[in-house]
Amino acid sequence: MALDRGAPNSKASIHTSKLISPVQCRMARAGLGLSVREFAKLAGVSGLTVTRFENGNTSCPEDVVRTFRSVFEGLGVTFISDVSGQLGVCLSTKFAERQR
């Protein structure tokens, strides 16, 4: 899903909750080109923890989910949502330029 938070009439906004959804986690990780193991290492958790969260395991502690968000934001990811509740992610232009 692409949400343009910079458009004048955009209905998207920055998602300010400190928690992210499993889908946002998977989208952010894929957008950054990180494997489960690579991201787990950055977040200081096991790959199984990442996989379980991305698969919708609701028992993942909130502090771990906050850590995931913090790691992603440090890598230039912004979490967004629109008025209908659709969630998404945006990568910073700095990251996009590094990928070229």
Query: How deeply is 36 buried, as exposed, middle or buried, from its count of CB atoms within 10 A (0-12, 13-18, 19+)?
Result: middle
7, part of any domain: no
Find the CATH number of the domain harbouring 17.
Answer: 1.10.260.40
Which residues span the domain enclosing 58? 13-99
pLDDT at 6 over 80: no
Residue 6 lies in a domain: no
Per-residue pLDDT tens digits for 37-95? 999 999 999 999 999 999 998 789 999 999 999 999 999 999 988 777 778 888 886 65
Q: Is residue 2 part of a domain?
A: no
In what helix (H) or strand (E) does residue 78 lie, and over which residues does it extend? strand 77-82
Is pLDDT at 26 greater than 90 in this prediction?
yes
Any domain includes 83: yes
The count of structural domains within the chain is 1
Place of tokens 């938070």: 5
DSSP string, 24-60: HHHHHHHHHT--HHHHHHHHTS-HHHHHHHHTT-TTS
